[in-house]
Amino acid sequence: MTMTNNAKPAADPATDESRKTVKRDALMAIEKQWQKDWEERAVFELDMPEDDSVAPEMLHDKHPKWMGTFPFPYMNGVLHLGHAFSVSKIEFAAGWERLKGKRALFPFGFHVTGMPIKAAADKIARELEMFGPEFAIPGENEGELEDQMEEMTVDGAPKAGGNFRSKKSKVAAKTGNKKYQFQIMQDQGMSNAEIAKFADPENWLKHYPPIAIDDLKAMGCKIDWRRSFLTTDHNPYYDSFAQWQFNRLREMGKIKFGKRYTIWSAKDGQPCMDHDRQSGEGLGSQDYTCIKMQVLGWSPEAEAVASAIPELAGKKIYLVAATLRPETMYGQTNCFVGTKLEYGFFQSANADEVFVVTERAARNMAFQGLSPTDGQVTKLGSISGQAIVGSKVSAPLSRYSDGVYMLPMENVLATKGTGVVTSVPSDSPDDYAALRDLKKKTDFYGIKPEWVESFEPVPVISTATYGDM
Q: What is the DSSP string of 19-55?
A: HHTHHHHHHHHHHHHHHHHHHHHTTT-------TTS-
The residue among 395, 386, 401 whose CA lies nearest residue 304 is 386
Q: What is the DSSP letter of 373?
A: B
Write down the pLDDT at residue 294.
97
Distances (CA, A) of 404 to 295, 391, 432: 10, 9, 15
Three-class secondary structure of residue 286 per DSSP: coil
Q: What is the pLDDT along the chain (469 residues), one digit of tens a residue?
A: 555 555 556 556 666 677 788 999 999 999 999 999 999 999 999 998 888 888 888 888 889 999 999 999 999 889 999 999 999 999 999 999 999 999 999 999 999 987 788 888 988 999 999 999 999 988 645 454 455 444 444 444 444 444 444 455 555 555 555 678 999 999 989 999 999 999 999 999 999 999 999 999 999 999 999 999 999 888 898 899 999 999 999 999 999 888 888 888 887 788 887 777 767 778 888 899 999 999 999 999 999 999 999 999 999 999 999 999 999 999 999 999 999 999 999 999 999 999 999 999 999 999 999 999 999 999 999 999 999 999 999 999 899 999 999 999 988 999 999 999 999 999 999 999 999 999 999 999 999 999 999 999 988 888 888 888 7
The residue among 324, 315, 326 whose CA lies nearest residue 356 is 315
Whether 285 and 274 have beta carbons less than 8 Å apart is answered as: no
Write down the pLDDT at residue 6.
59
Q: Which distant-in-sequence residues (6+ apart) come within 8 Å of 435 by Cβ?
A: 333, 334, 423, 425, 452, 455, 457
Write down the pLDDT at residue 157.
44
Cα-trace Rg, the chain: 33
DSSP states along 210-250? HHHHHHHHHTT----GGG-EESGGGSHHHHHHHHHHHHHHH
Measure the CA angle with vertex 266, ends 262 and 271; round to 5°: 30
- Name the residue type at position 157: A
Cα–Cα dist 170/281, whole Å:
8
Cα–Cα dist 116/208, whole Å:
14
Write down the pLDDT at residue 50.
85
Write down the pLDDT at residue 140.
47
Q: Strand 264-265 relative to strand 270-271: parallel, antiparallel, unpaired?
A: antiparallel
Cα–Cα dist 228/349, whole Å:
49
Whether 298 and 393 have beta carbons less than 8 Å apart is answered as: no
Q: What is the DSSP letter of 205?
A: H
The residue among 355, 290, 359 whose CA lies nearest residue 322 is 290
Cα–Cα dist 420/417, whole Å:
7
Q: How far does CA 185 lie from the centroid of its chain?
A: 22
Write down the pLDDT at residue 175.
52
Measure the CA angle with vertex 410, ends 409 and 412; round to 5°: 75
- Name the residue type at position 205: L
Write down the pLDDT at residue 42.
93
Q: What is the dihedral of CA 15, 21, 26, 30, to 10 degrees?
A: -130
Whether 419 and 412 have beta carbons less than 8 Å apart is answered as: yes
Residues making up the chain, counted from first to last? 469
Write down the pLDDT at residue 266.
84
Write down the pLDDT at residue 52.
82
Write down the pLDDT at residue 262.
87
Other Cβ atoms less than 10 A from the Cβ of 352: the count is 9
Cα–Cα dist 220/217, whole Å:
5
Q: How far does CA 277 lie from the centroid of its chain?
A: 4
Q: What is the largest CA-CA distance in the chain?
A: 123
Cα–Cα dist 135/182, whole Å:
8
